[in-house]
Amino acid sequence: MKPVDRHLADILAAVRPLAPLEVEIEAALGAVLAEDVASPVPLPPFDNSAMDGYAVRAGDVAAVPVTLPVIGDVAAGDGGLNALGPGLVTRIMTGAPLPAGADAVVPVEWTDGGTARVRIDRPAPHGNAIRRAGEDVRAGDVVLREGARIGPAQIGILAGVGRRRVLVRPRPRVVVLSTGAELSEPGTPLGAGRIWESNSFMLAAAVREAGAEGFRAGSVTDDPKEFMDTLDAHLLRADAVITSGGVSMGAYEPVKEALSPLGTVTFEKVAMQPGMPQGFGVVGPDRVPIFTLPGNPVSSFVSFVLFVKPALRAMQGLPAGPPATVRATVTGPVRSPAGKRSYLRAVLTGETVAPVTGQGSHQLAALAAANALIVVPEDETSLPEGAEVEVIPL
């Protein structure tokens, strides 16, 4: 059996970052920046008032109370200002440029609010309530680095430095296709021998959570031709494909039957539980990466976490490797098959981790109750209560 780490290494060696693409900044949410973004100007671009009040010369208001003539108003957006002479003040609004000669702003709350003359009751020290040009960003400063995930604040600073378009690695479009003659759409009645289809919903959601776009292609029966036709129909809009089911050792394994003859997808046994039967390769003229995950819901979920999620990171140009782990103390004894790495569903609370009841690979409710996976190494068959274990937080 192939070690888990080697299977991941093979996958990461085969996937490539998607080509960068210029998009409108509104469309960049969730994408990964493919360029360094610098500001062409300082931010703020000019000294301006942090408050509504009066622009003054600090020396003129050192002794208070003092009443001074108000020569006018400066509003946000005003340009071409006259310099402020000694002994004079001007009303100024938040964001308005500071007139030459002024070196402090007296907040309106420290005054009688006068418009022709104003009485100032508190001295404002030099620089008071002034936002200096360049105190956020200097001209030429890089504000976002290549590889940053673009969230709302990043879109904000892109606009703030005047960018309308930006170079990103797009979110990979991932088609999720389930196989199984027993599968019924949720929301439809359940016939004899059938179950509601859950994997495509779960995996498409996992794809979205991983920063990519997940499309459900629904489910097909166990007919290899139907599988292949559906796959072909979706390949055009896919940067990657995930299938579930149909890769085990039984009969009616449509994924294996349809893809094996192509010679571009390898089906292997990976030394793990759950999730031993794995397949990975490329399909179609564009050699789209395909992950053929086992059908048991917990197996397909764990396979996603271990193999697909790192691959989606690599496709987004992000550092990719095995999932991050933490150490915790297990609250009860755990068992694991010899020669396989186990991923036990568990609840992680602070520094302790409790395996959930129901470790079967079909037990999706137990997975839904878990927030972590306990990793039991290949050479361990049991661990006692109190053992320190490695845990993948979900």
The footprint of ligand AMP (CB under 6 A) covers 178, 180, 182-183, 195, 197-200, 219, 244-246, 248, 294-297, 362
Q: Which tokens belong to 60?
A: 């003129």
CA 126 to chain centre: 44
Cβ-based nearer residue to ligand AMP, 52 or 182: 182
Among all residues, whose Cβ is closest to Mg ion? 245
What is the distance between the alpha carbons of residues 255 and 217, in angstroms, rounded to a whole number? 15
The backbone torsions φ and ψ at residue 314, rounded to the nearest 5 degrees and listed phi first, read: -60, -40
Among all residues, whose Cβ is closest to ligand AMP? 295
Q: Which tokens belong to 318?
A: 């992000």
Q: For the window 207-246, what string marks contact with Mg ion as x by the rule CB under 5 A?
A: --------------------------------------xx
Q: What is the closest distance, in whole angstroms, from the C-beta atom of residue 239 to ligand AMP in the complex?
A: 22
Quickly list H helices, the chain.
4-14, 152-160, 199-209, 224-235, 254-259, 297-303, 309-315, 364-369
What is the distance between the alpha carbons of residues 260 and 279, in angstroms, rounded to a whole number? 10
Q: What is the closest distance, in whole angstroms, from the C-beta atom of residue 207 to Mg ion in the complex?
A: 21
Cβ-based nearer residue to Mg ion, 299 or 363: 299
254 touches Mg ion by CB under 5 A: no
Q: What is the closest distance, in whole angstroms, from the C-beta atom of residue 361 to ligand AMP in the complex?
A: 8
What is the distance between the alpha carbons of residues 336 and 379, in angstroms, rounded to a whole number? 9
Residue 123 partner contact from Mg ion, ligand AMP, none using kind-dependent CB cut-offs of 5 to 8 Å: none
Burial, 341: exposed, middle or buried (Cβ in 10 Å; 0-12, 13-18, 19+)? Answer: buried
Q: Residue 350's CB: how many other CB atoms inside 10 A?
A: 7
Residue 296 partner contact from ligand AMP, Mg ion, none using kind-dependent CB cut-offs of 5 to 8 Å: ligand AMP
Q: What is the closest distance, in whole angstroms, from the C-beta atom of residue 298 to Mg ion in the complex?
A: 15
Cβ-based nearer residue to ligand AMP, 39 or 278: 278
What CA–CA distances, in Å, run from 291 to 227, 256, 314?
Answer: 14, 12, 14
Q: Which tokens belong to 295?
A: 């059908």
Q: What is the closest distance, in whole angstroms, from the C-beta atom of residue 346 to ligand AMP in the complex?
A: 22
Cβ-based nearer residue to ligand AMP, 198 or 331: 198
What is the distance between the alpha carbons of residues 307 and 296, in angstroms, rounded to a whole number? 16
What is the distance between the alpha carbons of residues 219 and 277, in angstroms, rounded to a whole number? 19
180 touches Mg ion by CB under 5 A: yes
Name residue 134's amino acid: G
Q: What is the closest distance, in whole angstroms, from the C-beta atom of residue 188 to ligand AMP in the complex?
A: 14
Q: What is the closest distance, in whole angstroms, from the C-beta atom of residue 174 to Mg ion in the complex?
A: 21
Binding site residues, Mg ion, CB under 5 A: 180, 245-246, 295
